[in-house]
């Protein structure tokens, strides 16, 4: 294995160097070309309040991943694997950030077909105008822009954290080299296209009249066209990662001793810190997805807050009633479940709808990680499926329900007419199910193939001996604690 | 010389130490251990998993004492360590063939 | 006890569901009605810089509570109670956030009498205008507004963290169910009225001329009318929580072994992290209380910063001199003491006044938790009284002193004349003492009654056996660490 | 020692009180005087977006120091010294914040000669105009200002964290009193003048025409005049602290048992948290150094992000290849190395240049802390020199290289002509080397003298017995953990 | 009475406990220890430093048993603790001169 | 066979291990313990509270050795563990009635 990994690393490093050299050329070259082509205003008057908020939002999502998720997951495994899990999060996030700059952003967020974008922004090229000013990216308001670099940075953090979420499913037994290779493949063939399908569109300025709107609509991603509402990434992030996790833990197999040995979390306070930082950071995720600091951001914000609080209550009290005692791990898990479920909904519902979504998410995800999991018998180490996939599906569907203005929801904005409407609960839920179904299928199948490839090339699973000793010393030559 | 080993409830440590000091035992060595016995443990819940934790935190103390005071020491420490509830622990006595104080090289009863 | 708790939980859950259902109806209904009634401009041009800052401030206060306070307190108890304390913070914060949305905000921040507000904003109703735009809430500048949802969210975090502070006083011995029930009662009957008394007013726009000002003045809360200055919550938050803590630890009694057994903090680095996050987050608390990102926010900010730094120095050096060694726990406590003391003052004094306030707070609170505490002999586990109440009183009084423009203070703004004046040190200190005295009395008495009720209904204190074993395994079925 | 320290503390405390009393007077007095003298607009229309971002940036840098650096360093030492190191960071930061307000800001950021500023802003005097409004400080755009209090607060955090960085070099063996005394001296005689040399200038408004520009140029700091580019503090912060660390660890000598005993980090997850918080907070450092939330801040932001991610990859993969396994400590160190190297460059290069700078930093610093360190044989406990000084020098030089517009860099702005130019790679690198060389010499020599003074006055090193027992119990009377 | 002390691989603890319980040993005391022996440790890397970590985490279990079942207990625990790989550990047997149950004061075989 | 138990200062562990290895003792078992004795502890301060911490971290090492080298081992380990300051610790020697290597079932001197 040692040799394998080393060769892999060398290859990756060499490749990276090569690509970068090409990139720097092409970036410089393309800029001149692109500058002319861009349809958006040459030097828009950005609002500094928007920029301030989006800078903050971006760093908040970074904070969700590291240290947030790294701790949340790190605390949940046994002490002998704490570094292994944190390391997988830390390095996956870094590698994908680099790849995002090289080709990820371009494939996800430039025009192409309904499933994949193009290559015009590879190496982040073409984001400066001829005068060296930062070109704009669209928001959800006509005539309001943020610098495209900022949009690319914000979305970069989404790509990174989504992949990191998967780590929890096969924690404590997968080889580090296998994790990294899988992540690169999955990012390229699952994350990028699904982000494109759900989020890519021409921007509000294109919706000038009915004809233009139709044309614009057709240039958008596949699920965007289906009318699936996903404000901040319920499908792209949570369902996508959750199903990839389930497939992973099924393929890699159960941990040695699962079901017979105690596998208690080794550091519950770390879990608490992690969950709390996820809560805090998630405002960047959700209210940041509003892309501007207008008044509506406040609604997204309070929705996110209340859903989380309600989910903590939901999980904790349900646990108290049905499982004897309320636990810290439960409260922390409840917070995450609520955050997951409100993610697609946060910009489409009202505060009372958010309370209901949160409370339900707390109870449903508790059910998922207890009854459902033990019924199906898979070993999803840190419940990526039970919390992110189940919570994501619940949130996606309830978005369709509570979007209803009669339930305090916002309805949907018609950029041409300038009015708010509502598609009807049934129609909207159908749209939502399109989003859920396509994501489950696409990510499920792509994940399966990626795992199989990795298994063939370098093998997925650490040896039994290594698993017993713990991945920290074996794979990373370190111990978490010397107290 | 005898080596007295006692397994006691952790929160009794201070009392026990005091009690044996009163008899004149100057040094003891203490180890945190886990005990399994008649005393029942508790249940822990972590999401889907429920574990019966049978072991209980106990404190092991070791004292090397002169034969002459063995009974007295056992008596004293048992008295203060006793709560009367299951799990109070045990005392074991073992013969010591040799004792050395590293600092001085003194042996036997001089060494403790 | 088990049964009791379970029944309690069930009841709470059922109640919650019921209330929400009603709420959703009423929220939808009321919106139409309220829209017309609102006096403020229909769709004010919010400044995105203000919104950006207030979003950040709100999440900073969240971060103070979780993970900040949860860690600060969690690290200070013995290892067997770390989850118990964190859990009390985490769940109290969540439960009160939900109740805040249901009735708390309305009672604290709508017009009513001098002590309680009304019910017009229950379920956060009435915060959207007929067109679905977010209605404005006043700031301290005429014609400057932030969305009311944002104001409500910001204030929600204040309510949550204030209650959480109390947890430290009776840590390591109170039952979880008792904590929650007490918190709900105390929040309703102490926090909400005191917030109303101190902070509720008609907003600056109402102060058009002398007559209008008088009328507006009479609609404000009781202590607001008394002229007590409290920029960010010295009375409402710290004195209020501190005295409730003192009453609590007296009623629940000392921890078993207190005074004879060593009860050293189990994880001092956690205390350091917690204190540092409190410091960072407190800028949301203090500079956020400015409600807009105008230049003055910078003064509030630097005041807060310097007072904290000075208090760290004060406590640390005093400890070095009088208690032999400077400790990490001391430096951390000093930071919190400084933050507490500058809270009421931060918008009314200058940077040099802040240095003095901070340094004094460090020394005085050290004295309070050593000499005063041992003289009086109560067991306030984590010194809620010694730091928050004593520091809060000190800060409240010194606000009156350093508000003096001759000492670099701001004086007080006359919204009608548009000029700054100063009430005179003596007068202002008297006003401050009104704030201190009323809060001590109100919260002290209400707390006493609430504890007694809880004691009757479910009992305050965990059994001796449970206390010895530690609340983590007994009440939450978990252990903090499996290293 | 006890007596010594106590006397020191007493003296410091007394001094502080005295100074403050004088300060309060002088502050009040000076304000009237200064108000007239200030050249900047009386009451500029600040942009609230700028203020919001700079408030956030300031608190982010605070978060880098505490808890970020305190944890990063705290986790890396042995358990018996965790509090000692955290405490040194916490208290150094606080003491220097107070001194910054008293005289630091004035000496660094007011006009004087090329090496030192003046005393007009001691006690933060003169920052309010006659009407009590906050006076402006310049940014890098003509006609754009932020309140000077805010600028002073932002820069305060830089001073504090820079000194704290040094702590890592002599960790685990220096007396607390010696650390504090050294810090005060070094701050005064190294940090303040170097900050003045690199950053002090008249502001963009002074560059109205060629003559004015020349005059303005001559009033700037020594290294500013040399044309050394340092966007966010590569020289002032990292080289400055790094060389002071090296001198320190050489003078204080190796830790007992260094090279023979295992000195593994006691808490690697803490290191991970620390590094991640440094990453998050560094956006305040770097993008905050842009001083406004204009579009360009987005470029600084994404540059910082990508360099860090690339450095994590660089260090991790290099370690994998050359040192057998990729480690968590390595990934964390890589992040910091990348952040250090991009610090001077972040506002002068493009994203692809940032990727290269980051990747190189990861590899070069790994080499520095392994080969270089073992070749030279010094005991820089936490590699302050290897990461901050080496990374800082690398970044400074590469700034000169990648500033080239042909490599995607920005070039340099000519405030008079309003155009962008480039000095040529060779010329620019020479300018950069001026910055590097002067900082190394100045800080190296000053540090040497300061350490010697401290050694004479109170002695640098803890006794062998104390070092063996650990500084936590001996110097602070506490233990980190009682698990 | 004898005191049987066994040093075993930590992940074998549950099996061993079960095995001796099946023979009727009701109580055991467990300590986390570090073992040095023939089994090789691992190498740890921290930036510039590389440490050979020779000690390995082991679990020590102590059981006071009646003389009559000593052989049986050793047999049973050895069987389940055996993996056949180096590092499986040791069993030591020591004579116990006295045993007391603190709760009741019972002595000898009654006490365990 | 004898079981030698030594309580030493923690930072002496590496030296002691080396010293006994030089004599040919291949395996040892190490436990972190807390010792109370003549050596004084330190005082800890936490806000209002001041605790005298009497226990000191010590390291216990256990070695099963053949009777023939007992003296030599005690000699060697005492020499390197000695600092001459109070708190250097003790050596206890106990008779071993039986020794088993779990991996192979070997007994007695073969087992260590
Ligand atoms: N046979 C035994 N050998 C070694 N240790 C024992 C034995 N029996 C009990 N112990 C230890 O004594 C502790 C208390 O024993 P237990 O049976 O729970 O209660 P009691 O001593 O009151 O009957 C156990 O947790 C265990 O550590
Ligand atoms: N002579 C000894 N005295 C005390 N403990 C020993 C001795 N030899 C080995 N051990 C313990 O037994 C463990 C296993 O021994 P080792 O030599 O590694 O393998 P094995 O027992 O399979 O030959 C060691 O880690 C150590 O804890
Ligand atoms: N009678 C005893 N029984 C068991 N352990 C002892 C005894 N006396 C001392 N010790 C252990 O030896 C250690 C050192 O003893 P101490 O009296 O401090 O110093 P010294 O051995 O140099 O006289 C103690 O910390 C304790 O762990």
Q: What is the ipTM of this complex?
A: 0.94
Tell me the β-bridge partners of F7: F60, F90
- Is E28 near ligand 1, meaning CB less than 6 Å away? yes
Tell me the β-bridge partners of B90: B7, E101
Range in A113-122, C36-45, D433-442, D463-472 the model is least confident about: C36-45
Q: Tell me how far the alpha carbon of residue B14 lies from the centroid of ligand 1, in angstroms.
A: 20
**Distance from C-alpha of D351 to C-alpha of B63, rounded to nearest angstrom:** 68
Confidence of residue C260 (pLDDT cuts 50, 70, 90): confident
**Distance from C-alpha of E31 to C-alpha of D307, rounded to nearest angstrom:** 48
Neighbours of D291 (CB within 10 A): 23
Burial degree of E72 (CB within 10 A; 0-12, 13-18, 19+): middle
- pLDDT value at residue C304: 98
Task: Indicate if the pLDDT at residue B108 is higher than 90.
Answer: no
Task: Indicate if the pLDDT at residue C3 is higher than 50.
Answer: no
Range in A217-226, B98-107, C256-265 the model is least confident about: C256-265
Contact E46 D264 (CB under 8 A): yes
Q: Please list every residue in chain A whose beta carbon sits closer than 8 Å to the beta carbon of residue B47.
A: 329-330, 333, 369-370, 383, 386
Percent of chain B at pLDDT > 90 equals 76
Contact E44 A478 (CB under 8 A): yes
User: Can you say whether residue C106 is alpha, beta or left, with left for phi > 0 and alpha for psi between -120 and 50 degrees?
Assistant: alpha
Task: Indicate if the pLDDT at residue F92 is higher than 80.
Answer: yes
**Distance from C-alpha of D65 to C-alpha of D88, rounded to nearest angstrom:** 11
E vs F, Cβ pairs < 8 A, gives 78
Q: Please list every residue in chain E whose beta carbon sits closer than 8 Å to the beta carbon of residue B8.
A: 102
> Greatest CA separation found in chain E?
58
Contact C324 F48 (CB under 8 A): no
- pLDDT value at residue D219: 93
Q: Pocket of ligand 2, candidates E6, E12, E35: which has the most ligand atoms within 8 Å of its Cβ, to mutate?
A: E35
From the list B43, B46, B48, which residue is nearest A265 (CB)? B46
Range in A48-62, C137-151, D7-21, D37-51 the model is least confident about: D7-21
**Distance from C-alpha of C250 to C-alpha of A468, rounded to nearest angstrom:** 50
Flag whether residue B35 sits within 8 Å of chain E, measured between CB atoms. yes
- pLDDT value at residue C34: 40
Contact in structure between A15 and A95 (CB atoms under 8 Å): no
Contact C374 F48 (CB under 8 A): yes
Structure tokens at C309: 């730094």
Task: Indicate if the pLDDT at residue C81 is higher than 90.
Answer: yes
Contact F44 D473 (CB under 8 A): yes
Contact in structure between A290 and A232 (CB atoms under 8 Å): no
Q: Which helix (H) or strand (E) holds A413?
A: strand A412-414
First CA to last CA distance, chain D: 31
- pLDDT value at residue A239: 98
Q: How far is CA D422 from CA A130, D215, D400, D409, D411, in A?
A: 16, 22, 10, 9, 5
**Distance from C-alpha of E20 to C-alpha of E24, rounded to nearest angstrom:** 6
Q: How close does chain D come to A482, measured CA to CA in Å?
A: 4
Atom of ligand 3 nearest to the CA of F33: 27
| Chain A: residue whose CA lies nearest to E45 | A477
Interface test with E, best of B58, B91, B95 (most E CBs within 10 A): B91
Interface test with B, best of E3, E20, E103 (most B CBs within 10 A): E103
**Distance from C-alpha of D52 to C-alpha of D47, rounded to nearest angstrom:** 9
**Distance from C-alpha of D104 to C-alpha of D106, rounded to nearest angstrom:** 5
Flag whether residue D263 sits within 8 Å of chain E, measured between CB atoms. yes
**Distance from C-alpha of A31 to C-alpha of A133, rounded to nearest angstrom:** 11
Q: Please list every residue in chain F whose beta carbon sits closer than 8 Å to the beta carbon of residue B3.
A: 92, 94
Flag whether residue A297 sits within 8 Å of chain C, measured between CB atoms. yes
Please name the residue that has the structure tokens 């949907």: A412
Q: How far is CA E60 from CA C174, D69, E10, E63, F112, in A?
A: 37, 39, 9, 10, 16
Burial degree of B66 (CB within 10 A; 0-12, 13-18, 19+): middle
C vs D, Cβ pairs < 8 A, gives 221
From the list B43, B44, B47, which residue is nearest A383 (CB)? B47
Q: Please list every residue in chain B whose beta carbon sits closer than 8 Å to the beta carbon of residue E100.
A: 74, 78, 90-91
**Distance from C-alpha of C103 to C-alpha of C106, rounded to nearest angstrom:** 5
- Is F9 near ligand 3, meaning CB less than 6 Å away? no
From the list E94, E95, E102, which residue is nearest B91 (CB)? E102
- pLDDT value at residue C30: 45
Please report, in tens digits, the pLDDT of each residue of chain A (483 residues total). 344 554 554 555 555 555 655 555 555 444 433 433 344 455 688 999 999 999 999 999 999 999 999 999 999 999 999 999 999 999 999 999 999 999 999 999 999 999 999 999 999 999 999 888 999 999 999 999 999 999 999 999 999 999 999 999 999 999 999 999 999 999 999 999 999 999 999 999 999 999 999 999 999 999 999 999 999 999 999 999 999 999 999 999 999 999 888 899 999 999 999 999 999 999 999 999 999 999 999 999 999 999 999 999 999 999 999 998 999 999 999 999 999 999 999 999 999 999 999 999 999 999 999 999 999 999 999 999 999 999 999 999 999 999 999 999 999 999 999 999 999 999 999 999 999 999 999 999 999 999 999 999 999 999 999 999 999 999 999 999 998
Please name the residue that has the structure tokens 């050096």: C317
| Contacts with B, C 218-247, CB within 8 Å | none
Give the orientation angle of helix A82-99 with respect to helix D328-345, to 10 degrees.
40
**Distance from C-alpha of A153 to C-alpha of A134, rounded to nearest angstrom:** 13
Flag whether residue B51 sits within 8 Å of chain A, measured between CB atoms. yes
**Distance from C-alpha of D341 to C-alpha of D303, rounded to nearest angstrom:** 11
- pLDDT value at residue B112: 83
Structure tokens at C316: 């640390």
Contact in structure between A265 and C482 (CB atoms under 8 Å): yes
Q: How far is CA E55 from CA A83, A466, E51, F19, F28, in A?
A: 20, 17, 12, 16, 9
Structure tokens at A242: 């959750």
**CB under 8 Å to D15, separation ≥6 — which residues?**
none
- pLDDT value at residue E55: 87
Contact in structure between F50 and C329 (CB atoms under 8 Å): no
Interface test with F, best of B102, B106, B112 (most F CBs within 10 A): B102
3-state secondary structure of F39: coil
**Distance from C-alpha of E106 to C-alpha of A75, rounded to nearest angstrom:** 44
Q: How many residues does chain C have?
A: 483
**Distance from C-alpha of C173 to C-alpha of C471, rounded to nearest angstrom:** 8
Contact in structure between A209 and A215 (CB atoms under 8 Å): no
The sign one gets for the Cα dihedral A270, A271, A277, A281 is: positive
Contact in structure between F73 and F19 (CB atoms under 8 Å): no
Of C3 and C359, more confident: C359
| Chain E: residue whose CA lies nearest to B78 | E102
Task: Indicate if the pLDDT at residue C130 is higher than 70.
Answer: yes
C151 HSE (CA, 13 A, CB side): 27
Structure tokens at C130: 């007929």
**Distance from C-alpha of A383 to C-alpha of A437, rounded to nearest angstrom:** 20
**CB under 8 Å to D385, separation ≥6 — which residues?**
D169, D242, D243, D245, D246, D249, D368, D373, D378
The dihedral over CA atoms of C251, C257, C258, C263, expressed in degrees to the nearest 10, equals -130
**Distance from C-alpha of D176 to C-alpha of D472, rounded to nearest angstrom:** 10
First CA to last CA distance, chain E: 10
Structure tokens at A99: 């790849």
Task: Indicate if the pLDDT at residue E43 is higher than 90.
Answer: no
Task: Indicate if the pLDDT at residue C348 is higher than 50.
Answer: yes
**Distance from C-alpha of C328 to C-alpha of C269, rounded to nearest angstrom:** 9
pLDDT digits (tens, 9 = 90+) for E44-80: 888 878 888 888 999 999 999 999 999 999 999 999 9
Contact in structure between A240 and A438 (CB atoms under 8 Å): no
Average pLDDT over residues F88-109: 94
Flag whether residue F29 sits within 8 Å of chain E, measured between CB atoms. yes
Task: Indicate if the pLDDT at residue F34 is higher than 90.
Answer: yes
Contact in structure between C420 and C414 (CB atoms under 8 Å): yes
């Amino acid at each position: 294995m040692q040799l394998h990994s080393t060769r892999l690393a060398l290859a990756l490093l060499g490749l990276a160097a090569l690509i970068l050299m090409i990139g720097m050329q092409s970036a410089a070259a393309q800029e001149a070309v692109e500058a002319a082509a861009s349809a958006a205003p040459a030097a828009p008057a950005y609002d500094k309040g928007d920029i301030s908020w989006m800078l903050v939002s971006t760093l908040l999502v970074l904070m969700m991943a590291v240290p947030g998720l790294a701790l949340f997951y790190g605390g949940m495994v046994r002490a002998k694997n704490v570094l292994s899990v944190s390391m997988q999060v830390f390095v996956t996030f870094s590698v994908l950030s680099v790849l995002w700059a090289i080709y990820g952003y371009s494939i996800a967020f430039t025009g192409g077909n309904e499933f994949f974008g193009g290559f015009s922004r590879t190496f982040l090229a073409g984001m400066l105008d001829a005068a060296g000013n930062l070109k704009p990216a669209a928001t959800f308001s006509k005539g309001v822009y943020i610098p495209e670099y900022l949009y690319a940075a914000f979305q970069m953090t989404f790509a990174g954290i989504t992949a990191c979420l998967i780590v929890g499913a096969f924690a404590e037994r997968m080889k580090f080299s296998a994790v990294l290779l899988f992540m690169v493949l999955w990012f390229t063939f699952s994350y990028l296209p699904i982000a494109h399908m759900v989020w890519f569109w021409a921007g509000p300025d294109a919706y000038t009249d009915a004809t233009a709107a139709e044309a614009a609509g057709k240039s958008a991603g596949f699920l965007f066209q289906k009318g699936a509402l996903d404000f901040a990434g319920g499908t792209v992030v949570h369902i996508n990662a959750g199903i990839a996790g389930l497939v992973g833990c099924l393929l890699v197999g159960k941990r040695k001793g699962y079901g017979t040995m105690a596998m208690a979390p080794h550091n519950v306070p770390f879990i608490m810190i992690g969950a709390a930082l996820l809560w805090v950071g998630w405002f960047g995720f959700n209210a940041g997805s509003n892309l501007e600091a207008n008044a509506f951001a406040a609604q997204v914000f309070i929705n996110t807050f209340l859903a989380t609080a309600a989910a903590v209550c939901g999980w904790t009290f349900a646990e108290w009633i049905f499982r004897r005692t309320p636990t810290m791990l439960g409260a922390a898990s409840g917070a995450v479940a609520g955050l997951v479920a409100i993610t697609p909904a946060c910009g489409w519902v009202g505060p009372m709808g958010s309370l209901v979504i949160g409370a339900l998410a707390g109870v449903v995800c508790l059910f998922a990680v207890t009854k459902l999991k033990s019924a199906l018998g898979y070993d999803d180490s840190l419940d990526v499926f039970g919390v992110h996939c189940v919570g994501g599906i619940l949130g996606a569907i309830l978005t369709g329900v509570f979007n209803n203005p009669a339930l305090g929801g916002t309805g949907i904005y018609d950029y041409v007419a300038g009015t708010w409407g509502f598609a009807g609960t049934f129609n909207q839920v159908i749209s939502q199910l399109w989003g859920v179904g396509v994501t489950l299928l696409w990510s499920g199948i792509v994940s399966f193939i990626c795992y199989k490839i990795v298994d063939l090339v370098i093998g997925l699973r650490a040896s039994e001996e290594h698993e017993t000793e713990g991945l920290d010393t074996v794979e990373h030559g370190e111990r978490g604690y010397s107290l | 010389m005898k080596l007295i080993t006692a397994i006691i409830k952790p929160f009794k440590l201070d009392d026990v130490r005091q009690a044996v000091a009163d008899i004149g035992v100057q040094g003891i060595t203490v180890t945190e251990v886990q005990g399994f016995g008649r005393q029942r443990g508790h249940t822990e819940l972590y999401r889907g998993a429920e574990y019966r934790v049978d072991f209980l935190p106990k404190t092991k103390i070791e004292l090397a004492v002169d034969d002459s005071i063995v009974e007295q020491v056992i008596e004293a420490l048992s008295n203060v360590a006793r709560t009367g509830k299951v799990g109070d622990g045990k005392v074991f006595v073992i013969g010591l063939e040799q004792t050395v104080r590293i600092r001085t090289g003194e042996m036997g009863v001089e060494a403790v």
